[in-house]
């Protein structure tokens, strides 16, 4: 018989070996697939690296894609740390984008210097308010947060679609369903050729690390994630802790919405989130809910996406081929987490043998 047994303990060296083997196996499987398509795997992999970091421009593009992944993953990490399964990052990003867009498009009387700060505040509040709804339903009615947060993604999406096709539709777009572009005062400035979202990302990595590991609230969130009974025994107010953590989680996702509409799209649309909320869930798990690891994994993930996009044009291959390569690598990397926690045990099934012996003895 084959069964899986949970490992009592694993060293960092063993964990690193398993993860390295997972990446090697993924590259081998992808190589076989590429050879089947008459493509040179070494050239493909080299081109993916070139597409992600081959020039200053490409490196900047990779970092721009990594910024929302980093901040959203940090928000997801805070929620997951207390075992609150926040699958609503997409919706919280969209609501943060909506709130900040309201400031940029509708509050035209405010001074230019105050536009960006007010957009940041509005974005954080928009995401936080969208996240606190499932938190309150969880604490008051005991609802399933996974289902509620997931459903709220689609509510946020349809709300922005309604605005895009209705009240906020640009009259100068000649019938095209588009929300007007932001004025210059509502666009985030750049530092070293990249919008200042990268500074926010680095600062938030440090802040969230300190918050989770060196503050009372962070400790309470961690204890609640380990055991609700232990949290109650320690005198932690479970409901308040859930609400507080979800405000932080949603607020970070809302900030991402503000950054995307201001610095990347310069307007509000349903493409703002771009699947970042779902991708951040994978990154949070791969990072083992560690803030600094989140930064590294997010950059690597953005590089994988950028590299996959580059090889489509460099080798004139369909998008599906690039997506298969990305998916296989992710499958192996995520799958290795199972073998880090569990080991395969081979044992003989003596049940039938013993039953046969008993039967013979009775005869």
Summarize pLDDT for 72-114 with one digit per residue, the tens: 999 999 999 998 999 999 999 999 999 999 999 988 889 999 9
pLDDT score, position 118 = 96
> Which position has the token pair 């001074």?
111
What is the per-residue pLDDT for 202?
A: 96
What is the full DSSP assignment across 56-118?
A: HHHHHHHHHHHHHHHHHHHHHHHHHHTT-----HHHHHHHHHHHHHHHHHH-TTS-HHHHHHH
pLDDT at 12: 73
* pLDDT for 10 beyond 50: yes
The alpha carbon dihedral of 349, 355, 357, 358 has a sign of positive
102 contacts 122 by C-beta, under 8 angstroms: yes
Residues of the chain with pLDDT > 90: what percent?
61
- Residue 325: its pLDDT value, please? 86
Do residues 266 and 187 touch, judged by C-beta distance below 8 A? yes
Read out DSSP for 111-176? Answer: -HHHHHHHHHHHHHHHHHHHHHHHHHHHHHH---HHHHHHHHHHHHHHHHHHHHHTTT--GGGTT-
Lowest-confidence pick of 1-10, 120-129, 301-310, 352-361: 352-361
Q: How much helix, strand and coil, in percent to the nearest 5, is found in the chain? A: 75, 5, 20
Output the six-digit token pair for 54: 């081959």
The residue-averaged pLDDT of 223-235 equals 88
* pLDDT of 354 over the 70 cut: no
pLDDT over 70 percentage in the chain? 95
Question: What integer pLDDT is reported at residue 135 of this predicted model?
Answer: 95
Which pLDDT band holds residue 350 (cuts at 50, 70, 90)? low
- Provide the pLDDT confidence category of residue 287 given band limits of 50, 70 and 90: confident
For 59, the token pair is: 């490196």
Q: How far apart are the first and last CA of the chain?
A: 29
pLDDT higher than threshold 80 for residue 328? yes
Mean pLDDT of 253-275: 93
Separation between Cα atoms, residue 241 and residue 273, nearest integer Å: 27
pLDDT of residue 132: 95
Give the pLDDT confidence score for residue 198 in this predicted structure: 95
Q: Show the tokens assigned to 337.
A: 């987490």
pLDDT at residue number 338: 78
pTM attached to this predicted model: 0.88
d(CA 274, CA 306): 14
What band does 351 get if pLDDT is binned at 50, 70 and 90?
low
| Average pLDDT value for the chain | 89
Query: Could you give the CA distance from residue 336 to residue 276 in angstroms, rounded to a whole number?
Result: 23
Confidence of residue 348 (pLDDT cuts 50, 70, 90): low
Nearest-5° Cα angle at 79, 244 to 151: 100
CA count, 13 A, side-chain hemisphere, 342: 10
* pLDDT of 361 above 60: no
Q: In this predicted structure, what is the pLDDT of residue 353? A: 45
């Amino acid at each position: 018989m084959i069964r899986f047994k949970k490992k009592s303990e694993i060293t960092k060296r063993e964990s690193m070996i398993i993860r390295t083997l997972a990446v090697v196996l993924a590259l081998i499987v992808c190589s076989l697939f590429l050879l089947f398509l008459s493509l040179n795997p070494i050239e493909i992999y080299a081109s993916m690296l070139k597409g992600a970091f081959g020039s200053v421009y490409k490196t900047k593009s990779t970092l721009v894609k990594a910024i929302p992944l980093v901040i959203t993953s940090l928000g997801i990490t805070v929620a997951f740390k207390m075992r609150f399964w926040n699958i609503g990052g997409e919706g919280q990003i969209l609501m943060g984008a909506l709130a900040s867009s309201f400031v940029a498009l509708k509050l035209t009387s405010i001074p230019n210097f105050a536009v960006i700060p007010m957009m940041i505040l509005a974005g954080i509040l928009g995401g936080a308010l969208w996240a606190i709804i499932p938190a309150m339903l969880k604490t008051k009615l005991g609802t399933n947060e996974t289902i509620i947060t997931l459903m709220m993604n689609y509510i946020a999406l349809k709300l922005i679609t309604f605005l895009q096709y209705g009240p906020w539709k640009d009259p100068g777009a000649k019938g095209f369903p588009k929300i007007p572009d932001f004025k210059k005062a509502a666009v985030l400035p750049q530092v070293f050729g990249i919008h200042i979202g990268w500074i926010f990302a680095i600062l938030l990595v440090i802040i969230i690390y300190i918050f989770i590991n060196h503050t009372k609230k962070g400790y309470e969130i961690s204890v609640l994630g380990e055991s609700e009974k232990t949290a109650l025994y320690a005198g932690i107010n479970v409901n308040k802790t859930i609400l507080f953590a979800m405000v932080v989680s949603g607020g970070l996702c809302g900030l991402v919405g503000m950054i995307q509409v201001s610095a990347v799209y310069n307007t509000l649309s349903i493409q703002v989130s771009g699947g970042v909320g779902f991708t951040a869930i994978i990154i949070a798990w791969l990072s083992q809910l560690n803030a600094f690891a989140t930064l590294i994994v997010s950059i690597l993930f953005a590089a994988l996406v950028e590299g996959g996009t580059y090889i489509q044009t460099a080798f004139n291959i369909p998008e599906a081929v690039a997506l298969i390569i990305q998916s296989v690598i992710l499958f192996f990397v995520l799958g290795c987490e199972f073998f880090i926690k569990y080991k395969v045990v081979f044992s003989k099934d003596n049940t039938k043998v013993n039953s046969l012996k008993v039967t013979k003895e009775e005869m």
